[in-house]
Amino acid sequence: MIICHIAPFAPARCGLYEAARDMIKADALAGHTVIFIDAGVSSNGVQETPVIGGKDDRGNFSLVTGHPDQINDADLIIMHTGCPDAWLVGTQTPLIWTVHGRPKACFLPSNGSSYELYRTVSKWKRSKKMLYFWPEFKEDWEFNFNGKDLILEFPVIDYERFSSEGEKYNIIKKGQTNVLICDSDREDVGLYNLMVGLINTSKHIKGLKFHFIGCFDFPISNRYQILIDRLNELGTLGDVIGRVANIETAYRAMDVLISPNKIIVRTIAEALMCKLPVIAQNGCKVAHVCCDMDNPEDVRKGFEIFLDDSNFDDRSHLFTMENYSKVMNPIYEQVVKGM
């Protein structure tokens, strides 16, 4: 089967791209012919020109952006984002839309009108499925997708790239226990409460270093600098850097990841694929330790639980490409055959 994926080409810049890339690799490993078309990155309201011939060689997989004319060769099109109408009008190839956003984020006017857009495109006859990643949002999405919703329980992660073996990030401000934070602010979940919890934890537990990678835009805003300075005063501030091209090197170098999220975001799944223990918000079904990130004392207790237990099971099997293909290949067949 020839499968065309349309998404912004943005290595190390965009989580949507990283998710799309791993889905594309899974399709390729499953024996499909894959085409990837860059829709252009949207930055600060400006749409960048799509790249033709762009290459991403990470993880022993070379992904090259093709020409929009190649869309006409596909048996199935996976839409990770919108694209110019002219790219789609020459064919009636069926579409599967991948909804990467969280419902509340899509609903807010500040993010355009993606909530309404998904409602509109789900009504198209050629739109066969509306795929999303988090069962926790079933009540949010199912009525908006006209009965075409499809839930993927676990995200797919490239296990060649995200593994416990390989190059490690060189920690500059190393501690006895090195804690990675690599989430950024979202509309529904932010870093503020987590950082207050880290400040409280710093007063009670010695030997911790908190490393922030890809969390902040630079220069860092004054409001976050206040929290960072407090961690520094308490002696628990580790490295603070921007996005890195190969975040897997950081997972391998750390002792634990802490995330303010309950849903399985990529940072959580990637860390687990690298066999890094995870502390996350109460209700996270794959984290080794859960706590209430809105309660500074509970964050401290979460670290105490982690430090008291050095035997954490391997959960990487949940995110393999084989598992993804077992779910998606029958769907692809049904969609292409018009079932």
| pLDDT given for residue 111 in this prediction | 64
Instruction: Identify the pLDDT of residue 338.
Output: 86
Please, which residues have CB within 8 angstroms of residue 283's CB and are 6 or more apart in sequence? 136, 262, 290
Tokens encoding 209 = 């270093």
Write down the pLDDT at residue 109. Answer: 76
Reported in sequence order, the residue ranges of the chain that DSSP labels E, i.e. its strands, are 2-7, 33-38, 42-43, 46-47, 55-56, 63-64, 76-79, 95-99, 127-132, 149-151, 177-181, 208-213, 237-241, 256-258, 278-281, 289-291
Q: How far apart are CA 333 and CA 30, in angstroms?
A: 13
Please report the domains of the chain, with CATH numbers, ordered by start residue. 2-156+321-337 (3.40.50.2000), 177-318 (3.40.50.2000)
Please give the Cα distance from 323 to 337 (Å, whole number): 22
Q: Residue 326: is it exposed, middle or buried by C-beta count within 10 angstroms (0-12/13-18/19+)?
A: exposed
Give residue-wise pLDDT tens across range 314-327. 999 999 999 999 99
- pLDDT at residue 245 in the model: 87
Beta bridge partners, 34, equal 3
Phi, psi of 273 (to 5 degrees): -65, -30
pLDDT at 113: 75
Given a cut of 50, the residues of the chain with pLDDT beneath it are none
Residue 247: the pLDDT is: 95
**In the structure encoding, which two tokens stand for residue 277, read together?**
């223990």
Can you tell me the distance from the alpha carbon of 230 to that of 228, in angstroms, rounded to the nearest whole number?
A: 5
User: How much is the pLDDT for 112?
Assistant: 62
Q: Pairing state of beta strands 42-43 and 46-47?
A: antiparallel
pLDDT of residue 148: 95
C-alpha span between 182 and 223 (Å, rounded): 18
DSSP string, 78-103: EESS---GGGTTT----EEEEE-S-H
Query: CA geometry: angle at 217 spanning 213 and 219, to 5°?
Result: 110
